[in-house]
Amino acid sequence: MEQHTSDRSVSRRSAAISVVVSFTASAACAACALPGAAPPAGRAPVGSDGSDNAPRSATPPEPGAVGSPSATDSPAISFASGQRIEEYAEVVALVASGIDPQQFLELARRGRFSYDFLASKPASASLEGYLLPGTYRVLPGQTTAETLMRQLLTRFGESFPPALRAQAKQTAGLDVHQAVILASIVERAAPPAERQPLAADYVDRLRRGECLCADVTLRYALRKPGDWWPALPAPAQSVLRESPYNSHVHHTLPPGPICNPSADTLRAVAAPVRAGP
């Protein structure tokens, strides 16, 4: 069985004040290392031949994302697809929005929100995977961490509507949380053109009880401030063998998403298309 082990990382973390501000992976903020708030250990899907060095782009700004629809001169916060919640908090820290990045991260990790698409998410799980990438305008002094969080969740619901959720269940046998987990893996493991066939391959492997055998979820588990997607220190089979995020050892989905996937990747998982012969 062929194993795919490379992934495409987010090397561009974007923030914008009227325009997007790029920054590097070394721009870690203190808020991203809350004591006792580490995410679960990592687990990976079958990767593809993505280089993990290609920059990712946030989706274009949408009018009125947060605050007044006409506030085009207000600061904007841009989140790139494939980023994890700690990277989102780093982006928030770079923008003069008045939003506390530590509060934002705490809400992402432990916040309780009532949206229908969160019904299948375990109560103890973070909002990783449900914070849709894109550009969101904010009003300094008015937009709070909770306001921004609700906007991210609202846009997720709009981008992954009930019809697509039902399609994921019918086509791939996945509930919403499982679909988000799989989409997060696909997002990190493959370039856009390969995501639908990769999603189909993952679904087939899960149905057959085979391993996803990818490194990306292990890299999620090994994270540390300043290096959120470290290289594996040893062969994948020997790294964190007991972790449910080691998909070389465990033949099921990991317990939670590893990043926040784009709307296109969510759609690819809802309608996986196998590659031709």
Write the pLDDT tens digit of every residue in 57-70: 454 444 344 444 44
Residue 48 has pLDDT above 50, yes or no: no
Q: Is there a contact between 5 and 213 (Cβ–Cβ < 8 Å)?
A: yes
Q: What is the pLDDT of residue 92?
A: 96
Q: Is there a contact between 136 and 153 (Cβ–Cβ < 8 Å)?
A: no
How big is the chain, counted in residues?
277
From the list 266, 46, 83, the residue with the least C-alpha distance to 178 is 266
Residues 151-176: tens digit of each pLDDT: 999 999 999 999 999 999 999 999 99
Residues 218-243: tens digit of each pLDDT: 999 999 898 999 988 888 777 888 89
Residue 33 has pLDDT above 50, yes or no: no
Structure letter (DSSP) for residue 111: -
Q: Phi, psi (5° rounding) for residue 118?
A: -90, 0
| pTM (2 d.p.) | 0.77
Cα 155-106-55 angle, rounded to 5 deg:
55
Strand partners, 61: 135
Q: What is the pLDDT of residue 26?
A: 36
